[in-house]
Amino acid sequence: MNTAWFYLVLAGICEIGWAFGLKYSEGFTKPVASVVTVVVMILSFVLLAQAMKTLPLGTAYAIWTGIGAAGTAILGIFILGEPKDLMRILCLLMIVAGVVGLKFFSESQ
| pLDDT tens, residue by residue, 81-98 | 999 999 999 999 999 999
C-alpha to C-alpha distance for 3 and 61, rounded to whole angstroms: 16
Phi, psi angle pair for 2, to nearest 5°: -85, 175
* pLDDT score recorded for residue 13: 98
Count CA within 13 A, CB hemisphere, residue 16: 18
| pLDDT tens, residue by residue, 12-31 | 999 999 999 999 999 999 99
The whole model's pTM is what? 0.89
pLDDT of 104 over the 80 cut: yes
| pLDDT tens, residue by residue, 40-82 | 999 999 999 999 999 999 999 999 999 999 999 999 999 999 9
